[in-house]
A and B are shown apart, each in its own frame.
Chain A
Amino acid sequence: MTQQQSSALSVEGLTKDYPGVRAVDNVSFTIKQGAIHCLVGENGAGKSTLVKMLTGVLQPTSGSITVAGRRHCPRNPQEARDGGIATLFQELHVVDELTVKENLTLGMEASRFGFLVNSKTDEVAIETLATIEPSIDPEARVASLSVAQKQILEISRAASSGASVIIMDEPTAALSEREVERLFAVIRRLRDANVTVVYISHKLDEIFELGDDVTVFRDGKHIVTKPLDEVDGRQQLIELMIGRTVFQQYEPRDIADAEPILQVEHLKTSLLKDVSFHVNKGEVVGFYGLVGAGKTEIARAIYGADKFSGSVRFNGKEIGPTPHDAIAAGIALVPEERRTQGLFTNLTIRENVPVMNLEKISTTGMLSPSRERQAAEHFVAQLGIATSSIEKHTEKLSGGNQQKVVLAKCLFAEADLLLLDEPTRGVDVGAKTEIYDVIKALANEGKSICVFSTELEEILGICDRIILLYEGMLEEELLNGEDVDIAHILNVVTGGAEHKGQ
């Protein structure tokens, strides 16, 4: 950071009220030109709301924004971009029906008299995409891409927009290590080109690896802005964020003599190649692999959400072929994508929670409103869902709190086996710990849990046993403990083991 840094963006007394909530509360700070500025805070701290105001999606209740010395009050994303701000939003926003290339240039097309013409932007975008993930075909329809690939597509779009400030709201939530590395390279290159990057993430390691400065939010308020060099490690940052320290470490549990509850043999789908494993009673099993390694496929197959060949036996019996049968047998799933697969976003928390266990809220088909309300209130309290009421539409919750509602749904099913696909995606450190505590408590009660995650830290933190996947194959199984070799694990999931084995 040798160049003389001027202010790229500053906010002054910025406030945003939702009905009943002050999401952003009188916030003032400055972001330096050409820096990677990280924004951290717990779920619901107000980060996404701030971003939305910067990009014209929301109008501030009060306060002002200044970009490159000029007053900035965009009324829509187009105006924000004209003002030099491009954004990568927390939720995926791609058009499935268009091709990758068409998506890359959406809203930035060059045209003459309304006719589309090729331009430099297209080339830059395609180039950026190739840098991060060369395997994506620009002519492919976006509908055929995986979630991660769509995310990469969006990153490329933002990165190639030519804006002087690029905001990224949790860009790596769905990415694997390998892709994260490539993304970081792109971000650093942007910085070298004097582009300012505002980076939001719950993955603190990324913050330290990438960031120049950090701003901490708590409860909608600005806590501090300072260079990361001046932050004294992870623990201090966490303290700033939540006002206390948390520490996550695996403690070995005694489950040696537990009997198997789930037996999976010769599981095959278009992606999975003959996967066999078992899960014991009271055990937490982690499935780790890169994007597309097959974690989600395994979870969905066990759950009856997708077709497969092979045998899946639970408590000694084959499970029926639908999620309904799986739930009846005592299995519940937290799906990978909360908005499209987990939540009923236009229904309230109360209406979301009971869906997987109808018996508990009804007698002979009639709903019991009181039992339903109790259930919702119970989980709002247990999982610390930040909301003004159980009657709040889940659409209006922050990302992390939405995830908690999905978890509540799943817990309400009172299943013996929980399949958690990316259970803490988009969840803040504090809440993460809470969720891990819930998982551990459940395991101690004798429930079995499968965690499918792209976050190694998470796998190592809570799982008793770890299953490593690579391109649809089960490569290795290992017990967790102090002696696990992280380098080895990374080697295996990136295809190293296969190479070695031949």
Chain B
Amino acid sequence: MSYSISKTRHTPFSARLGQFLRDYYIYLVLILVVVLLSVANLDRFDLFERGNFLNPKNIVNILRVSAPILTLAGAFTLLMVSGHIDLSVGSAMSLAAVVYASLAINGVPFLMAFGLTVVVGVLLGAINGLLVVKLKITPVIATLITLSLYKGVALLMVQDGVSAIKSGGGLKMPGWFNDYGRSGVLLNLPMAFWVAVLVTIALIVVQNKTLLGKHAAAVGGNPTAARLSGVSSNKIVILLYVVVGVSAALAGIARSSFMSLGDPLSGDGMELTAILVVLLGGTAFSGGEGRVLRSFIGALIIMALTVGMLTLVPAYYQTLVVGTVLLIAAASNHLVSRKGSK
């Protein structure tokens, strides 16, 4: 004899499966990629032998060279969640690498060089943020401008006729320079990798537990609503660009330490890689949605693929494979999530 009709419907199995796939698809892709790469050479090698994907040395190698993109993925995700983009990350990274290398080669001690480079990252990020927020330039254009600008400045800092800042002409890179990106400190992995992990953990906390994280999603999801609710989107956006700038600087430090030089082109194309891994991680380009951790996993997938394939097939298959993986991952992710929600 009740007026109310129960509104709770039984969740069907397919919907729950959809939900599961939506939440965990990125991990499944990672597992799939790792399994495929591991068995690819089995006719020639044992599972963990030198020459196979699962060989610990190989894993260390991959994680080591991945440090820059792993450092960047999280910050880039947060920025994209807020509905913004930074195409200048590659150039910012290059510029940071050059600055860091110049400082190091001129005898500035590690911590100071590190700190100063991070400050440069703050500056580069803030410039982007101000262009977008104060001058109201569309993020794509604003950061394309700084892409060009930062790259130009990075090139300018290296003397004419040489490709990078490196030992020579009486100057010598200090020993610690290379160690940061290369010598194992824990589990045989270098500082640069662990910094990437720390940055990611910090950003996961930021995303889930702080005002910045929540407001980023609000600004990206519905900017007008956010503004009218009194969220100071300008501050949020500038802050996020700064976070990306700092991450780019850290990535630049990692890259230049790994290579022992300050290469003004070393970050070239990083913006594409960043977009690639972040999208692969399921972040919405239009903003509002995205998870730091998933982008981290996305970065692992791309790096495992590109590096892991090197010894399996000629390098000229790389682009095709990466493109195909992106398409398939995006398609399955979106198909699954739509099934789950409707």
Contact = CB atoms under 8 A, between A and B. Distances in A.
- Note whether A and B contact each other (Cβ less than 8 A): yes
Interface of A: 55, 57, 76-78, 81, 87, 89, 93-98, 102, 106-109, 111, 114-116, 135, 144, 157, 471, 495, 499
Given A97-B220, A97-B288, A98-B217, A106 B210 contact: no
B324 interface: no
B217 A95 contact: yes
A87 B218 CA distance: 18
A345 to B, nearest CB: 12
A77 B230 CA distance: 5
Contacts of A78: 230-232
Nearest to A87: B228
B225 interface: yes
A135 B288 contact: no
Interface in B194-223: 209-212, 214, 217-218, 220-222
A55 B220 CA distance: 22
Interface string B288-314: 110000000000000000000000000
Interface string B275-294: 00000000000001100000
A94 B1 CA distance: 37
A95 B218 contact: yes
28 contacts: A76-B232, A77-B229, A78-B230, A78-B232, A93-B228, A94-B222, A94-B225, A95-B217, A95-B222, A96-B221, A96-B222, A97-B217, A106-B214, A106-B225, A106-B229, A106-B231, A107-B230, A111-B210, A114-B211, A114-B212, A115-B210, A116-B210, A135-B7, A144-B341, A157-B229, A471-B5, A495-B5, A499-B1
A144 B3 CA distance: 24
A93 B214 CA distance: 16
B40 interface: no
B227 interface: yes
A95 B219 CA distance: 8
A107 B229 CA distance: 5
A126 B5 CA distance: 23
Interface string B227-257: 1111110000000000000000000000000
B127 interface: no
Interface in B10-32: none
A93 B219 CA distance: 12
B3 A499 contact: yes
B213 to A, nearest CB: 8
A89 B221 CA distance: 18
Most chain B beta carbons < 10 A, residue from A97, A98, A116, A471:
A97
B330 interface: no
A74 to B, nearest CB: 10
Given A77-B227, A81-B230, A98 B7 contact: no
A77 B214 CA distance: 18
List the 10 closest A-B pairs by CB distance, nearest first: A97-B288, A107-B229, A107-B230, A93-B225, A78-B230, A97-B221, A95-B221, A106-B229, A95-B222, A95-B218
Contacts of B212: 114
Contacts of A144: 341
Given A89-B228, A98-B217, A499-B3, 11 more contacts: A95-B217, A95-B218, A96-B222, A97-B217, A106-B231, A107-B226, A108-B230, A111-B210, A115-B211, A116-B214, A135-B7
Nearest to B288: A97
B224 interface: yes
Nearest to B287: A97
B319 to A, nearest CB: 33
A97 B118 CA distance: 32
Contacts of A94: 222, 225
A325 B195 CA distance: 58
Contacts of A97: 217, 220-222, 288-289
A93 B229 contact: yes
A54 to B, nearest CB: 13
Contacts, number: 79
Contacts of B289: 97
A94 B225 CA distance: 6
A57 B228 contact: yes
Contacts of A57: 228
A341 to B, nearest CB: 17
A219 B294 CA distance: 54
Contacts of A109: 211, 214
A98 B232 contact: no
B283 to A, nearest CB: 11
Contact of B218 (A98, A114, A116, A471): A98
B231 A107 contact: yes
Given A96-B222, A97-B288, A135-B7, A76 B214 contact: no
A77 B210 contact: no
B229 to A, nearest CB: 4
Contacts of A55: 228
A95 B226 contact: yes
A137 B3 CA distance: 20
A144 B225 CA distance: 17
Interface string B319-342: 000000000000000000000010
Most chain B beta carbons < 10 A, residue from A89, A94, A106:
A106
A119 to B, nearest CB: 12
Contacts of A116: 209-211, 214
Contact of B3 (A93, A115, A495): A495
Most chain A beta carbons < 10 A, residue from B209, B212, B230, B341:
B230
B338 to A, nearest CB: 13
Given A115-B209, A495-B3, A499-B3, A106 B226 contact: yes
Contacts of B229: 77, 93, 106-108, 157
Contact of A114 (B3, B210, B225): B210
A76 B7 contact: no
B9 to A, nearest CB: 9
A97 B218 CA distance: 8
Nearest to A143: B341
A115 B214 CA distance: 10
Nearest to A113: B210
Interface in B44-86: none
Nearest to A141: B341
A96 B289 CA distance: 10
Contacts of B231: 78, 106-107
Most chain A beta carbons < 10 A, residue from B211, B222, B225, B228:
B228
A87 B227 CA distance: 12
Nearest to B284: A97
Contacts of A98: 214, 217-218, 221
A108 B218 CA distance: 13
Given A102-B214, A114-B211, A95 B227 contact: no
Contacts of A115: 209-211
Nearest to A102: B214
B161 to A, nearest CB: 48
B214 to A, nearest CB: 6
Nearest to B1: A499
Contacts of A95: 217-218, 221-222, 225-226, 288
A141 to B, nearest CB: 9
